[in-house]
Amino acid sequence: MTAHSRATPFPDHGFLDALTRCAARDRYASINEISAHDGHRERCLISAAGWTLDSSRNLLSSDSLETLLAYAEASGVLEEREALFDGRSLNHTENRAVLHTLLRTVVPEPALVEDHQHVDQTLSRMAQWVERVHTGDHTGHTGGRITDIINIGIGGSDLGPRMVVEALTPFHRTDVRVHFCANIDPADLDRLLRAASPASTLFVVCSKTLSTEETLFNAQRARQWLLDGGVPERKLQQHFLAVSSNLEAAAALGIPADNVLPMWDWVGGRFSLWSAIGWSIAFAVGMAGFRELLAGAAEMDGHFRRAPAAENMPLRLSLQEIWYVNFMQAQVQAVIPYHQHLMHLPAFLQQLSMESNGKCVNHLGDPLGYATAPVLWGDIGTNGQHSFHQLLHQGTVLCPIDFVLFTASDQPAQAEGKRRLLANGISQARALMLGRSYAESRQSLRARGFSAEDSDALAPHLVIPGNRPCNTLVADRLTPATLGALLALYEHKTFCSGRLWQINSFDQYGVELGKSMGAEIYAALSEEGQEFDPASNDVIERSRG
Ligand code: F6P
């Protein structure tokens, strides 16, 4: 454990010494031997909601796992999970309940019936709009069909829907194309507008607060583009929808109440793709597909809620996170999906994990003497194999990896490629564990015709240490349901880690300072006078030419 002075110690529930001893031993153990240990793999295989987690290839022996599970029991984390489902004010710094699970619940808790009715009503309104656009009942201002939908939003109002829409590409309807614009850099919207036509484009402005600079700026630019493209002001409403918990702000943007769907304070931005913020998902795959996504997530919710600690997939992932971060000083974690359409999954998970658990005080506001969320990163396989996998195999960083793999292919024409993709994913996980010894390296060089002398010199560079930890998460196919379950799995992992670290996973005050400084600097870019630090002043000066 890394301890900072006068800071709150790790909430170990009496298990610090035992866990520290276990970690000191496992750090130098052989993953291959751990995984071959009697009964170990069985303890590390969990199936739920279409997914199987195999966590047997980690620097975590059966003994240590038992100790971690005992620590989890003592922490009460599983008792606390009920707070996610019964609407307690978990986000105490903002005095808000955390109820994103209600968005995918079929039968709500009695106390939540009223909120659930609002969710149902919103889903019905969402469905009506989706139907009207898909059938051509709702048209652009000239009476022609809507062919392009542009989601304007950022953070949770972009990353989730963008990732899901891309992930479900094979399920897309052919009558509309869905696009995403997040960045305040005009290049982002311009790239989309170049290929769109005002008469057939519908913008969905997504912002929980409707006070986000990027989103308001882009929405204004979109409005101007429509006006410049011949849409009369009185018909602009045919081209704008909005989702927000700030209905007045939507009205101020000129978007009529009928075109606005609500979201609620009890849904955090990074947990909001299940709400009307996921409207663009429903436009892309239809309402039935959106409901399948919710159902898949609900299935994982049920697993999380009912499974005991040892068989609880989200909790097991979280315990591993605590293990590596707090007992092995790992500061990074990679997620590598072997699926082209999961290209945005790492970015989505970055916000989920790092905005939730990137905190340095506990829920009481006391500074922490232990590490919290690691840097989460990743990219799709096989692409990463030809760039950063070098570091994973031979670098000096301890980086536990989640490999996300699929065993089947829906399209016969893709079967061969999917087999190759899967073979790559399986072999990367295996190579990371086994590595290649000096003797094997030397022998392979000799077999390739190198002289004995050259083989001796080159062999150390070919040695791959191995013993690098990873999980595999395997499903047969990427469908709306398995995707929903995967995302709920990571949501619940994030929740468990936050509770074990005793932090508030549901606020994000860290993003505010930079935002407020941005307004002052923006003013200084056009008006001389205000002074900042020398490095900032220098760039401001240069921008003035
Ligand atoms: O700046 C961070 C943040 O508040 C995220 O938490 C949120 O997902 C994003 O901005 C967008 O916020 P909004 O949906 O209110 O525009």
- Residue 270, ligand 1, Cβ within 6 A: yes
Known catalytic residues? 355, 386, 515
| Paired tokens of 537 | 């002043």
Rounded to an integer, what distance in angstroms lies between the CA atom of residue 49 and that of residue 486? 9
Instruction: Give the pLDDT confidence score for residue 180 in this predicted structure.
Output: 98
Rounded to an integer, what distance in angstroms lies between the CA atom of residue 187 and that of residue 189? 6
User: What is the position in ligand 1's atom list of the atom closest to the CA of 153?
Assistant: 16
User: What is the position in ligand 1's atom list of the atom closest to the CA of 270?
Assistant: 8
- Residue 56, ligand 1, Cβ within 6 A: no
Rounded to an integer, what distance in angstroms lies between the CA atom of residue 308 and that of residue 162? 34
| Paired tokens of 434 | 């086994």
In this structure, how many other beta carbons lie within 10 angstroms of the beta carbon of residue 107? 7
- Residue 104, ligand 1, Cβ within 6 A: no
In this structure, how many other beta carbons lie within 10 angstroms of the beta carbon of residue 219? 26
Q: Atom 13 (ligand 1): residue with closest C-alpha? A: 207
- Residue 209, ligand 1, Cβ within 6 A: yes
Rounded to an integer, what distance in angstroms lies between the CA atom of residue 336 and that of residue 380? 5
Per-residue pLDDT of the chain (545 residues; tens, 9 = 90+): 544 457 999 999 999 999 999 999 999 999 999 999 999 999 999 999 999 999 999 999 999 999 999 999 999 999 999 999 998 889 999 999 999 999 999 999 999 999 999 999 999 999 999 999 999 999 999 999 999 999 999 999 999 999 999 999 999 999 999 999 999 999 999 999 999 999 999 999 999 999 999 999 999 999 999 999 999 999 999 999 999 988 888 888 889 999 999 999 999 999 999 999 999 999 999 999 999 999 999 999 999 999 999 999 999 999 999 999 999 999 999 999 999 999 999 999 999 999 999 999 999 999 999 999 999 999 999 999 999 999 999 999 999 999 999 999 888 999 999 999 999 999 999 999 999 999 999 999 999 999 999 999 999 999 999 999 999 999 999 999 999 999 999 999 999 999 999 999 999 999 999 888 998 899 999 888 889 999 999 999 999 87
User: What is the position in ligand 1's atom list of the atom closest to the CA of 508?
Assistant: 6
Q: How far is the CA of 212 from the centre of ligand 1 (A)?
A: 7
Mutual orientation of helices 213-228 and 186-193 as an angle, nearest 10°? 30
Q: How far is the CA of 511 from the centre of ligand 1 (A)?
A: 9
Question: Probe ligand 1: pick from 350, 505, 511, max atoms within 8 Å of CB?
Answer: 511
- Residue 156, ligand 1, Cβ within 6 A: yes
Q: How far is the CA of 294 from the centre of ligand 1 (A)?
A: 22
Instruction: Give the pLDDT confidence score for residue 528 in this predicted structure.
Output: 80
pLDDT in tens, 84-93: 999 888 999 9
User: What is the position in ligand 1's atom list of the atom closest to the CA of 215?
Assistant: 16
| Paired tokens of 126 | 């969402």
Instruction: Give the pLDDT confidence score for residue 277 in this predicted structure.
Output: 98
Q: How far is the CA of 404 from the centre of ligand 1 (A)?
A: 27
Q: How far is the CA of 153 from the centre of ligand 1 (A)?
A: 9
* pTM for this entry: 0.97
Q: How far is the CA of 403 from the centre of ligand 1 (A)?
A: 29
Q: How far is the CA of 438 from the centre of ligand 1 (A)?
A: 51
- Residue 207, ligand 1, Cβ within 6 A: yes
Vertex 484: Cα angle to 482 and 487 (nearest 5):
110
Instruction: Give the pLDDT confidence score for residue 3 in this predicted structure.
Output: 47
Radius of gyration of the chain (CA): 25
Rounded to an integer, what distance in angstroms lies between the CA atom of residue 65 and that of residue 316? 9
Query: Residue 295: what are its φ and ψ, rounded to 5°?
Result: -65, -40
Amino acid letter for position 481: A
- Residue 215, ligand 1, Cβ within 6 A: yes
Secondary structure class of 67 (helix, strand, coil): helix
Q: How far is the CA of 348 from the centre of ligand 1 (A)?
A: 13
Range 422-428, long-range pairs (CB < 8 A, 24+ positions) = 422/338, 424/338, 424/381, 424/382, 424/385, 425/336, 425/338, 425/381, 425/382, 425/472, 426/472, 428/336, 428/381, 428/385, 428/389, 428/403
Q: Atom 6 (ligand 1): residue with closest C-alpha? A: 269
Question: Probe ligand 1: pick from 94, 157, 504, max atoms within 8 Å of CB?
Answer: 157
Question: Probe ligand 1: pick from 181, 209, 210, max atoms within 8 Å of CB?
Answer: 209
Q: Atom 8 (ligand 1): residue with closest C-alpha? A: 156
- Residue 154, ligand 1, Cβ within 6 A: yes
- Residue 159, ligand 1, Cβ within 6 A: no
